[in-house]
Amino acid sequence: MPAPARELRARRSCHAVPGSNPRFLEKAQGLDSDQVFLDLEDSVAPVAKEGARANIVEVLTTGEWGDRVRTVRVNDWTTRWTYRDVIEVVEGAGAHLDCLMLPKVQTAEQVAALDLLLTQVETAMGHEVGRIGIEAQIENALGLVNVDAIATASPRVETIIFGPADFMASINMKSLVVGEQPPGYDVGDAYHYILMRLLMAARAHDLQVIDGPYLQIRDLDGFRRVAGRSAALGFDGKWTLHPSQIEVANEVYSPLQADYDHAENILDAYAYHTSERGGATGAVMLGDEMIDEASRKMALVISGKGRAAGMSRGEVWTPPE
């Protein structure tokens, strides 16, 4: 029996903030990202890790984060920092935290270990057990091979995240430019398999799936192009590293207004026509278009994304008199 899906939260833009930079931690509170993740991992130097934990606890407990998703990325289990990251952050700010992000996940056991540790800290602190979710970052070949087991390793898992920089290093890809095609590969998209594999695992297990960073932060056209590809496949959002990327991500991962209106109209028209009052038919016409149960399922996806993004309807379908 699959675990019940966790609450669907908008994650079009997932903004990265180094936990060692108090100025950025302050500034992130005023940005328009759907999610913020306060980092203890690769954007924080080893000597600054301990101070960063304290900074993060301070800004989570005293800052104004509105309704955005608040996540902390801890260090991965192969380091010496992970357990103390979890204990200090969750003991200090567990009630102000939505998720922990676990980077470089390679096996289901690593997710299970984080679940157990979280459960202990939540229990000891008198917090609701299981409320804090897990975001699993897939950043190497072993993680990708095990992604289905990782996705189902704990009911806390909410998202699968692609970590392209570490991933490129892990598979020896001949390029240093994250998100762009490796020179010499001119027969397709070198990331297609990875993105599709992550997407299949996420959809098979009712999770969200998030694209990773685009490092050329001044190249907004490049960001839009790369984000547009994963959005077209069905990804829910992307990391942002600079405030200017947030607006683009929010736009690219939202449905177009016309598609959102159309989806809501399909849902209304289909509900009406399949009801007793509307004639109880299965396949029905909406304008010039024939819609049926499969159309309803497609419409639910677009409408779900639009509602999560706070969109409102333009043109509204009304039942015949």
Interatomic CA distance for residues 142 and 94, integer angstroms: 30
Here's the x/- map for Mg ion, 259-298, by CB under 5 A: it reads as: ----------------------------------------
Confirm or reject binding of residue 139 to ligand GLV (CB under 6 A): yes
Q: Which two tokens stand for residue 175?
A: 């390029």
Beta carbon nearer to ligand GLV, 14 or 286: 14
Here's the x/- map for ligand GLV, 225-254, by CB under 6 A: it reads as: ------------------------------
User: Do the strands 99-102 and 133-138 form a parallel or antiparallel pair, or are they unpaired?
Assistant: parallel
φ/ψ of 238, rounded to 5, equals: -150, 155
Interatomic CA distance for residues 203 and 294, integer angstroms: 17
Confirm or reject binding of residue 163 to Mg ion (CB under 5 A): yes
Shortest distance, position 315 Cβ to ligand GLV, whole Å? 40
Give Rg (Cα) of the chain: 21
Enclosing H/E stretch for 143 = helix 141-145
Beta carbon nearer to ligand GLV, 178 or 311: 178
Q: Which partner from the list ligand GLV, Mg ion, none does 164 bind, CB cut-off 5 to 8 Å by kind? A: ligand GLV
Beta carbon nearer to ligand GLV, 212 or 306: 212
Shortest distance, position 165 Cβ to Mg ion, whole Å? 5
Taking alpha carbons only, the member of 206, 209, 270, 218 closest to residue 245 is 218
Interatomic CA distance for residues 282 and 293, integer angstroms: 7
Q: Which of 163, 179, 237, 255 binds ligand GLV (CB under 6 A)?
A: 163
Interatomic CA distance for residues 39 and 152, integer angstroms: 24
Interatomic CA distance for residues 112 and 105, integer angstroms: 11
Q: Which of 133, 143, 164, 306 binds ligand GLV (CB under 6 A)?
A: 164
Count of residues that bind ligand GLV according to CB under 6 A: 9
Confirm or reject binding of residue 39 to ligand GLV (CB under 6 A): no
Which residues, 71 to 110, sit near ligand GLV by CB under 6 A? 103
Handedness of CA 272, 274, 278, 281 (dihedral sign): positive
Beta carbon nearer to Mg ion, 167 or 260: 167
Confirm or reject binding of residue 165 to ligand GLV (CB under 6 A): yes
Shortest distance, position 153 Cβ to Mg ion, whole Å? 19
Give the CA dihedral 92, 130, 246, 56, nearest 10 degrees.
10
Q: Beta-carbon neighbour count of residue 43 at 10 Å?
A: 18
Confirm or reject binding of residue 212 to ligand GLV (CB under 6 A): yes
Q: Which of 213, 237, 255, 306 binds ligand GLV (CB under 6 A)?
A: 213
Helix axes 257-274, 293-308, angle to 10 degrees: 130
DSSP state of 46: G
Q: Which of 115, 166, 236, 264 binds ligand GLV (CB under 6 A)?
A: 166
DSSP state of 7: P
CB 140 within 8 A of CB 170: yes
Shortest distance, position 162 Cβ to ligand GLV, whole Å? 7
Q: Which of 88, 98, 166, 261 binds Mg ion (CB under 5 A)?
A: 166
Residues near ligand GLV (CB under 6 A) are 42, 103, 139, 163-166, 212-213
Residues near Mg ion (CB under 5 A) are 139, 163, 166
